[in-house]
A and B are shown apart, each in its own frame.
Chain A
Amino acid sequence: MTRYIVQRMVGMLVVVLLVLTIAFVIVRLAPGDPAALMLGPEATPAEAAELRERLGLNEPIPIQYLSFVGNALRGDLGTSIFFNQPVTRVLLARAEPTVYLALFSLIIALIIAVPIGIYAAYRRGSWLDQTAISTAMLAASVPSFWTGLMFQRYLATELGWFPAAGYGGPDADFWVRMGHLVLPSIVLGIVNSALILRFTRASMLDVLGEDYVRTARSKGMTEWRVVLRHALKNAAIPIITVIGLTFALLVSGAVVTERVFNIPGMGNLVVSAVLRRDYPVIQGTLIVVATLYVFINLLTDLLYLLVDKRVRY
């Protein structure tokens, strides 16, 4: 098992290196001089030359690449052009709302999807099952920003049940800030529940057909116990996998949702960075998010070992 974990760690390192490489290449896909692009049309050639020097763009590409990877592995993702601060510091300053938004919406998605998914599988073909499946399909087809705008318009602005936008201002205390995340988390939670629901239902359906479920029933175990103790325990693995996979969905959703509700998080930062042509920030966000994704998926794989005793590597 230790060997498996080491193997997976090495595999993860290779993918992270490739992530860094892709992030490096993307910025160099820019037509023309990246320094001139970042500074915009008003910049003088002297300013562009100065920025090129500062970003090390005058070095040969292989040297640029090596120092980029070396710095990134040491935790240095460059300096933001707009803020004139290290990218890592800029990102950290905006991490709080994004992390909580992702966390809350994941919890909401699980609360919606897992019980309904289990029940839909248990009552396969019933009207509730069919309604659940079609609603999930619909939820996956509606753009999350559109749901966000509608909820904001009717539940926040009109009925005043939730704060409509923002993060409570610079001096807001913790609970006020969290209060501003409730509606965005509900929106993102609904969007993300669709995939989890489909997977929960599918993996429960697989397990409910197994012999040991029939055995448990024939022993006279209560249905409640059969479904929760025996079936759910074995359906947990695919559910954990899909939770790892929804991370990407969660981040994509957070970028858009933060924009809808004007929450000063990393999603809002990256969109502003695009409008300001602050390439180091865009590049840094890509690296941080993709690395997190790789890491989370390694973690969910390792969780298998804990949840399912049959899995041996």
Chain B
Amino acid sequence: MSASALADEPGFLEALFARRAVLVSLIVFLVILAAVILAPLIAPADPSAMSVRNRLAAPGGDYWLGADAFGRDVLSRLLYAGQVSLTIGCGVALVASVVGIVFGLVAGFFRRLDGPVSRIVDAMMAFPDILLAIALVAILGGSMINVIIALSIVYAPRIARIVRASTLVIRELPFVEAAQALGSSTGFIMINHVLRNIVSPIIVQATFIFAYAMLAEAGLSFLGVGVDPSTPTWGTMINEGRQYIDQAAFLIFFPGIAISVSVLCLQLIGDGLRDALDPRIAKEL
């Protein structure tokens, strides 16, 4: 079933929102998303307008969330930085899914390629995510696109593993055999019969990867090996604020909250989706 058919499925939304936390997370996440997208309209100030007189101004007054070392409005910077952080998270979830689906389908469908692809996936997953991402960004260079590429390489094996496992099951079902008997091409069967039936575990995993990628991006930016430091992201804001942590801890506090709330919402949404899409797994965790 396709993603849109999924939402029409009777009982899906009821099941998804059965837990209050999932509904709240979805609303909070949509609010964050809307605020970040509408940043040019709702930001109280120009995020790069400096004001020496107001450097490190405490939260309150004209600066709701304070001002940084250059007197720039923290709230406005948070909104604009969110555009980059969320784009990276979403981009990684999409690219990693596409790459993972291709490798997973190939491994699950062609027995001869299963061994090699699965071993490569094992080897890729032996590298801790931040470490592999650091190495890849170091080699590729730090730009938003390269961070998305690096993190997609890091997380694609997770999708590939799930897609492979599900494909192995679906491949043996009678309707695949029937399609083969009717003369459908392998590519058509892979996309129309197999992929359509494993959309839900992919969506669940992609939601988690969205969350992990945002955490990883923040980590890379904090280490100074992520996107160009002049591009504000929630991670680079923390990195910049670090040297003023004793006088102005709020410079670090607010971006940290922004990351944590977004990631928490995504994880809860992922949990809710998993429960609603597959009641069988729900019991296990």
Contact = CB atoms under 8 A, between A and B. Distances in A.
B259 interface: yes
A253 to B, nearest CB: 8
Interface in A109-146: 137-138, 140-146
A14 B128 CA distance: 19
Contacts of A273: 138
B127 A289 contact: yes
B225 interface: yes
Contacts of B222: 143, 145, 256, 259
Given A18-B123, A255-B223, A142 B256 contact: yes
A22 B124 contact: yes
Q: Which of B122, B124, B137, B140: most chain A CB closer than 10 A?
A: B122
B14 interface: no
B119 interface: yes
**Interface band, chain A:** 35 or more
Contacts of B267: 137, 140-141
Interface residues of B, number: 46
A274 B124 contact: no
Contacts of A149: 238, 242, 245, 252, 256
A103 interface: no
A157 B249 CA distance: 12
A229 to B, nearest CB: 24
Q: Which of A145, A283, A285, A291: most chain B CB closer than 10 A?
A: A145
B198 to A, nearest CB: 23
Interface in B191-245: 211, 215, 218-219, 222-225, 235, 238, 242, 245
A31 B141 contact: yes
Contact of B123 (A27, A152, A202, A290): A290
Interface stretch (A171-179, A181-189, A218-226, A244-252): A244-252
A1 interface: no
A143 B256 contact: yes
A61 interface: no
28 contacts: A14-B119, A15-B119, A18-B119, A18-B120, A19-B123, A27-B139, A29-B139, A29-B140, A30-B139, A141-B211, A141-B267, A142-B256, A142-B263, A143-B238, A143-B260, A146-B218, A146-B256, A248-B129, A255-B130, A273-B138, A274-B134, A274-B138, A279-B139, A286-B131, A286-B135, A289-B131, A291-B126, A293-B128
